[in-house]
Every structure is written in C-alpha cells, then in structure tokens.
Amino acid sequence: MGELSVIVVILSAAISVGVTGIAAAWAGKHIGSAAVGAMAEKEELFGKGLVLTVIPETIVIFGLTVALVLLFVVLPQIL
C-alpha cells in the first residue's frame, strides 16, 4: 500500500504542474492575440496588454506550489 501512495503523490504533483502549464499557455495564446490586436489599433495599450499576458503565468506558480507541498510535506509523511 505504501508504494501505491508514493506513486499517487508523485503523479499528483506532475499533473498539477502539467495541467496548469497547459492552461496558462492556452490562456496566454488567447490573451496575447487580443492584446496584439488592441495594440495595433491603439499603441498606448501596450502596458495593459503586457500585464494581461503575464497574469495567466501566475496559475503555473500556484501549480508549482501545490506540487512542492505534495513532494516536501505529504510525501515524507507517507514514507
């Protein structure tokens, strides 16, 4: 039973980083194209477009945080 728990924790950490990375890339694609379109019409929207394209990357930071908690807090308790 111990080996299965270790595998589940490691897979959960990998999934949390992988899924958040894919979600951030998908959101960045859509936000980036909209920001470029807006900047083509009004150049003064560059700052807002830059901030809006960076916001989805915070999702990856949350996924990395969850993965680190799983690996450094939960996993030692199982072992």
**CA separation for the pair 71, 37 (Å, rounded):** 41
Please state the domain count of the chain: 1
| Residue 40 structural domain | 2-78
Q: What is the pLDDT of residues 9-66, one digit of tens each?
A: 999 999 999 999 999 999 999 999 999 999 999 999 999 999 999 999 999 999 999 9
CATH number at residue 70: 1.20.20.10
The yes-or-no verdict on residue 76 having pLDDT over 80 is yes
